[in-house]
Structure 1
């Protein structure tokens, strides 16, 4: 009999604490901090994430790092899922787990055994949404890589370390606004979509997690290349205490040239990187071109 805490839609059983531990034991998996392996063991948290992701029935959801399949099962209740998993044991076991817990939805799952930081192609149909519990140690580069490589991903919801969540959605002028904030803003609008306590994971991390929802938007300046804008962002934040005139002097060729570029872009040369929005960084890149 399936209890209410673990039941999903008809035909689907979500993983509870005992299920997760049994699956890990069967695979002889011992979660490591190095790989950021913290598995969700609470079915209600999975339901909450799926609801917050606002997935449509015709979406194809890209899940990064499905692990033992806790989130995968919840996502399969509402849409097709392409799961990218770097660990061979997890990738090979996931279809069997889905066939056991959600037999009527097994045909919705596609598993790609690959490093999410290096994946360049995915089987059709292409993903339209990204929903993932991203490993803490690579969450920002993975998110930015997926947004760069797969323009069909138009919205998503990721669970990351709470501190990282705050940085991703930070606005110019805030204490935590930085490179992740500005680069995500190039691709999408974003906001905090909730808090996830550490007690719903096994093993328990030492920090809480945050949900970040995003919706893709057009590039701030279509005629400026993303790489050029990101180069400016990196230089502006390389030494946060420096004025933009000083921070961009090497990139521009001299402090004098940096000041000329900044003024032409409508930016105060004495400002600092944390004060600028992504549109202003784009204008600077345009003037540097």
Structure 2
């Protein structure tokens, strides 16, 4: 009975370790090493490595909870903070064009579907807005260039690849790519990337930088695929998703963790 009790205690400790609070990680590692009868003085590096690994695991789980909370929070036009973020997004993407009214066809200029952007955030909630705003603020030049490209009509030339891609709705694509980034996160596919770029704990900024990278890569992929019109979006998105999944299967693959999204690219560490 004492042996069975010991096994249960070990199993309970190891299972609870995966959901430990970040502040409790160091003590949890000490408890595990004591349970395994490992002398920290004999191998001090082991404790450090275990702590770093557990911090990454706990951080990834914490990040999923944080991202899920934002995704589930609906856009509320009565919430001043939500409205301020939306107005800031307009100013970042249309710095020289005042918004004439809160409900306006002008929203279509940055890629929303109708007169009121709040309806487009239903699927991804506040997460979609925060990602778009992060991109517009932290890599403004790239975001503006992508927006400009997305608004240009496609010109066909015989025997020459078109200089501009088929038009697409910038904001809607951003919300859709947010969904793609979210699915990569909750499925565990982003562990490869986040464990490589976050030596301690992945956080929301790492996720947002990943979104910036995916936006730019999708834009390039869209041009490469040369779709005839927006009706091919789902096909291109599915193909792009598969491409990212293949890249992330390499355990050494990571998105280069530069702050400016325009500097992001896949690298072998």
- Scaled by the length of structure 1, the TM-score of the pair is 0.22
- Scaled by the length of structure 2, the TM-score of the pair is 0.23
Answer 1 or 2: which has greater helix percent: 2
